Amino acid sequence: MISTALGFSWVGSLEMVDSEQQAEFFARILSSISDHIYVMTLDRLLAAGHYAFVSPQVERLTGYPAGRFVTEPHLWPSLIHPDDSPAFAQHLASLQQHARHEIEYRLMRADGQTIWVRDSAQTEPAANADQTTIYGLVSDITQRRRATEALTRIRDKALETSRFKSQIVANVSHDLRTPLSTIWGYAQLLEIGGQGPLNDKQRATMMEIKNSAQYLSEMINNLLDQARLEDGKLKLNLVSFVPSEIVNQVQANMAVPAHAKGLNLSTDIDPNVPLTVTGDPNRVRQILANLVTNAVKFTNQGTVRVRLFRPNPGHWALQVSDTGLGIAPEDQSYIFEPFRQVENNQADSLGGSGLGLSIVKQLTTLMGGHITLESQPGQGSTFTIFLPLLSNPNSGTSASTPRQSVGPG
């Protein structure tokens, strides 16, 4: 016997109430649940099922009366979007093999609208071995799906915009190289007297031209690296190299600008660091040069210290510390973002493209490492790069480098 009392339907064999009072209590519970609840018996031999219980919320969900789903077992499958019917059939098949299964699919309502639902079900064996009882909960997830699809469209558009921007940056950077090379070439020609001797004032002007050209060249290289990193096109050249040599090279290159500001530039190489490591030496040099350049730029007096050490058996590390301006805690969250710089009068006056630290972090991540920052305004900053000690089948037992300390540049 089928009953539809109090707005819900059940089959007599699964009747759950034995009094009008209990039925009313049951109905109140169901009415407080916004999702649709159902009980279905699935027959393996007939490859078909029928609904033993359908909650009244099914009418709000589909626009069809609850009783029709009990009397017309094929009504629910007929409402499933044709493209999702195979997945629903697989859902029923999975429920016969597993105790739980969940699926999302589209339903076509009586008013012609199409909605998305999530059908979560669990099973238990019925009295008949060839039958399975399914207890399910169907939720309307249309709004969530629409929001997800909207976010996906926004993400795809953002990725497309980012790729377009990276392509423009790469193209413009390449186009800038030709005139910049010409400027650099003529500056060198004039400097060596190719157009006649220069007086002191002209030589000083020529030095300014060369310095500006060098600055533009470094900015172009940073722009190209940023574009390649964003597109995932920057590849590492992994070889065996001596990390202490890179530390000494960067120290030698930065000795003059550090000395010009009256800074003490020193290096400290831990003997526990292997003589050779595996990685991309050019990118490691770029990371260290960027950090030391920043340290010298933002330090007016005191010391810039470069340290090479081994923090644990699986890593080696480069550390650059200074006694410069420091970075406020609220600024540390974004300084590794492209084109972002600390916003204060002193930092603004020093210029820069805001790409150096972004490239440092991205290269470090690309190498499988990570970067840390310790800083307080007016107390300087310490950047530490941790890189993994990769296996190098071509190297024998690693030796150690002696501790070195270099004084003022």
107 backbone dihedrals φ, ψ, rounded to 5°: -120, 145
Contact criterion met (CB below 8 Å) for 403 and 271 = yes
Query: Tens digits of per-residue pLDDT, 131-156?
Result: 788 889 999 999 988 888 888 888 77
For residues 147-173, give the mean pLDDT: 75
* Residue 404 pLDDT greater than 50, yes or no: no
Q: Which residue has the tokens 């909207």?
A: 150
DSSP 251-309: HHHHHHHHHHTT-EEEEEE-TTSBS-EEE-HHHHHHHHHHHHHHHHHT-SSSEEEEEEE
d(CA 70, CA 73): 6
- Tell me the two tokens of residue 257: 């600008």
pLDDT at 103: 92
* Residue 275 pLDDT greater than 90, yes or no: yes
For residues 7-26, give the mean pLDDT: 52
Which residues lie below 8 Å from residue 327, measured CB to CB, with a gap of 6+? 335, 342, 373, 375, 376, 377, 381
Residue 251 vs residue 234, higher pLDDT:
251
The 8-class DSSP code of residue 401 comes to P
pLDDT at 367: 92
Neighbouring C-alpha atoms within 13 Å toward the C-beta of 150: 6
* Residue 324 pLDDT greater than 70, yes or no: yes
Q: pTM score > 0.75 for this model?
A: no
d(CA 64, CA 74): 13
Calculate the alpha carbon distances from 111 to 50, 63, 262 in Å.
24, 7, 80
For residues 230-248, give the mean pLDDT: 88
Q: Which residues pair with 375 in a beta bridge?
A: 381
Query: Tens digits of per-residue pLDDT, 285-304?
Result: 999 999 999 899 999 999 99
Mean pLDDT of the chain: 79
For residues 256-265, give the mean pLDDT: 90
Query: Tens digits of per-residue pLDDT, 78-96?
Result: 999 999 999 998 888 888 7
d(CA 337, CA 312): 28
pLDDT band at 354, cuts 50/70/90?
low
Residue type, 52: A
Query: Tens digits of per-residue pLDDT, 98-133?
Result: 778 899 999 999 999 999 999 999 888 766 767 788
pLDDT at 5: 40
Which residues lie below 8 Å from residue 176, measured CB to CB, with a gap of 6+? 216, 220
For residues 27-44, give the mean pLDDT: 76
For residues 315-325, give the mean pLDDT: 94
d(CA 219, CA 223): 6
pLDDT at 200: 81
Which residues lie below 8 Å from residue 24, measured CB to CB, with a gap of 6+? 6
d(CA 338, CA 358): 5
